[in-house]
């Protein structure tokens, strides 16, 4: 082999080595780029998301389950909103207090908001901004909850409930009565006649809007025990048909005219009969002041009472305008009959009811009573225990779902609308006027 051939061979080898070096460098570079991508997606992104929030992810399934399992439970919200700058400055987990109130920071840099949460065995309610409710009421559904000065739920404390009921309408004064109900955020039940609905059909949708209950008082106020069962059937069917065409619903409860009924009539009507325990005698007085005094002095007036009045008389409506603020001042909450039943743990049966007094419930006189506390509220789905005030905490199953919820801000807004927070806000401000 001569010198020239040797040089060419070396040159080839050198080129080969250079090529391998370049390939290796490219492979390393690619590897490094991929590593950076994976690391940033897996580690950096979640951190960024936790601090600043970011786009959608796939926690929808978990969210739905959490909403279904408990819409009233507090959610965790990351410390990231513009309005939360004050919270951001206090970065230690645990309780914090500022001018707005008391709030709780978790170890994962979230805070509780918009629902109940049990911390160290105490039930709190966190409002939408994450502050606990103190020395105040909130209302969720038919239940009221009171929280003491420290924010602890007082399960025994509750508003006594009353159901105002109005028969024989609607009439020319019913709209004025609805004005009073609206003004004081009260609800009532109307046992209406078919012939009167024909006269005043437009008022039924307004009753619905105000959360009032629409009951049947038959078509034309006959004593049902004097009619054939076919006649009884007609009385309710015709009224239901008209109600359905006027406001899209039929009556779920009924009141037999004169409170007169028997088992056959009840069976044929096919609706729970609601009579009363306080008779205002407004039909005989026709005097607002006398109506007012007779109701306030009635023996039956108390938690769970059903009061009978007639909205077809002007003095009755004038009485109600004085009566509602007075009853509220006495601590009463005015609800519909069905709400009263629900709050009393009663599933209305094909039976006749006159009151939901605690004494009647406990004596077994109220059909469909499911037992336990009457209007007492308790709420214990969440167990949340702080071991040392800072680091570790233990959670029951149900909170595991909520843990992932806060990650997606856009979905969280949707969740907030789905739960009862809207109703809560409304009710919450209503409480002030009581
Ligand atoms: Ni009547």
Known catalytic residues are: 167, 310
CA angle centred on 221, ends 215 and 227, rounded to 5°: 110
Could you tell me if 90 and 84 are in contact, meaning their C-beta atoms sit under 8 angstroms apart?
no
What does pTM read for this prediction? 0.65
Ligand 1 center–CA 168 separation, angstroms? 5
Could you tell me if 94 and 105 are in contact, meaning their C-beta atoms sit under 8 angstroms apart?
yes
- Per CATH, 58-147 and 161-369 having the same topology is answered no
Q: Which residues of 170-189 are buried (b: 16+ CB within 10 A; e: fewer)?
A: bbebbeebbebbeebbbbbb
User: Which one-letter DSSP state was computed for residue 134?
Assistant: -
Average pLDDT, the chain: 81
| pLDDT band at 277; cut points 50, 70, 90 | very high
Instruction: For domain 161-369, give its CATH number from 3.20.20.370, 3.40.50.300, 3.40.350.10, 1.20.1260.10.
Output: 3.20.20.370
Ligand 1 center–CA 193 separation, angstroms? 8
Ligand 1 center–CA 316 separation, angstroms? 14
Q: Residue 414 pLDDT > 80, yes or no?
A: no
Ligand 1 center–CA 105 separation, angstroms? 58
Strand partners, 215: 191
Backbone angles phi, psi at 4, to 5 degrees: -65, -45
Q: Is 140 helix (H, G, I), strand (E, B) or coil?
A: strand
The terminus-to-terminus CA distance of the chain in angstroms comes to 112
Ligand 1 center–CA 343 separation, angstroms? 26
Which sign, positive or negative, has the C-alpha torsion 185, 189, 193, 194?
Answer: positive
Q: Is 125 helix (H, G, I), strand (E, B) or coil?
A: strand
Tell which wins on pLDDT, 75 or 265: 265
Q: Looking up tokens 């225990």, which residue turns up?
A: 385
CA angle centred on 324, ends 322 and 330, rounded to 5°: 105
> pLDDT tens-digit profile of 188-212?
999 999 999 999 999 999 999 999 9
- Give me Rg for the CA atoms of the chain: 33
* pLDDT at position 133: 94
> pLDDT tens-digit profile of 388-400?
333 333 333 344 3
- Which residues contact residue 260 at a Cβ distance below 8 angstroms, ignoring those fewer than 6 apart? 223, 224, 225
Ligand 1 center–CA 258 separation, angstroms? 6
Question: Topology of 58-147 in CATH?
Answer: left handed beta-beta-3-solenoid (2.10.270)
Ligand 1 center–CA 167 separation, angstroms? 5
The domain ranges of the chain are 58-147, 161-369
How many CA within 13 A on the CB side of residue 55?
Answer: 1
- Parallel/antiparallel/unpaired status of strands 136-140 and 143-147: antiparallel
CA angle centred on 196, ends 194 and 197, rounded to 5°: 65
Ligand 1 center–CA 217 separation, angstroms? 7
Q: Residue 172 pLDDT > 60, yes or no?
A: yes
Tell which wins on pLDDT, 393 or 369: 369
> pLDDT tens-digit profile of 153-163?
998 888 899 99
* pLDDT at position 75: 86
Q: Residue 434 pLDDT > 90, yes or no?
A: no
Angle between helices 421-431 and 409-418 (to 10 degrees): 60
> For the residues of 289-334, what is the DSSP string, one character each?
HHHHHHHHT-TT-STTEEEEEETTSHHHHHHHHHHHHHHHHTT-EE
- Determine which of 121-125, 330-334, 399-403 has the lowest per-residue pLDDT on average: 399-403
Q: Residue 132 pLDDT > 80, yes or no?
A: yes
* pLDDT at position 33: 79
């Amino acid at each position: 082999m001569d010198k020239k051939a040797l040089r060419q061979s070396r040159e080839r080898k050198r080129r080969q080595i250079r090529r391998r070096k370049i390939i290796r460098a490219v492979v390393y570079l690619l590897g490094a780029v991929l590593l950076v991508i994976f690391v940033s997606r897996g580690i950096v992104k979640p951190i960024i998301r936790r601090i600043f929030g970011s786009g959608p992810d796939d926690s929808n399934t978990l969210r739905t389950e959490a909403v279904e399992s408990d819409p009233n439970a507090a959610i965790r919200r990351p410390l990231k909103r513009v309005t939360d700058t004050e919270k951001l400055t206090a970065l230690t987990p645990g309780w914090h207090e500022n001018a707005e109130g008391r709030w709780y920071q978790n170890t994962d840099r979230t805070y509780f908001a918009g629902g109940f949460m049990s911390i160290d065995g105490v039930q709190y309610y966190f409002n939408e901004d994450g502050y606990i409710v103190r020395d105040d009421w909130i209302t969720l559904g038919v239940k009221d909850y009171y929280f003491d000065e420290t924010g602890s739920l007082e399960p025994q404390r509750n508003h006594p409930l009353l159901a105002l009921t109005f028969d024989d309408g609607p009439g020319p004064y019913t709209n004025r009565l609805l004005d009073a109900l609206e003004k004081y955020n009260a609800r009532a039940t109307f046992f209406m006649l078919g012939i009167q609905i024909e006269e005043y059909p437009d008022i039924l949708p307004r009753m619905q809007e105000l959360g009032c209950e629409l009951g049947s008082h038959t078509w034309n106020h006959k004593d049902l025990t004097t009619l054939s069962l076919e006649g009884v059937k007609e009385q309710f069917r015709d009224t239901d048909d008209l109600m359905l065409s006027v406001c899209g619903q039929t009556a779920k409860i009924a009141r037999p005219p004169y409170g007169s009924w028997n088992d056959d009539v009840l069976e044929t009507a096919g609706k729970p009969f609601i009579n009363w325990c306080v008779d205002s005698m407004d039909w005989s007085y026709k005097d607002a002041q006398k109506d007012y005094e007779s109701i306030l002095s009635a023996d039956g007036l108390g938690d769970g009472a059903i009061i009978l009045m007639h909205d077809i008389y002007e003095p009755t409506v004038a009485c109600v305008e004085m009566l509602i603020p007075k009853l509220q001042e006495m601590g009463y909450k005015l609800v519909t009959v069905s709400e009263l039943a629900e709050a009393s743990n009663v599933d209305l049966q094909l039976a006749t009811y006159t009151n939901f007094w605690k004494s009647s419930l406990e004596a077994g006189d109220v059909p469909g009573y499911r037992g336990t506390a009457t209007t007492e509220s308790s709420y214990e789905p969440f167990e949340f225990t702080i071991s040392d005030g800072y680091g570790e905490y233990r959670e029951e199953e149900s909170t595991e779902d909520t843990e992932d919820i806060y990650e997606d801000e856009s979905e969280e807004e949707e969740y907030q609308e789905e739960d009862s927070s809207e109703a809560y806000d409304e009710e919450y401000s209503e409480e002030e006027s009581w």
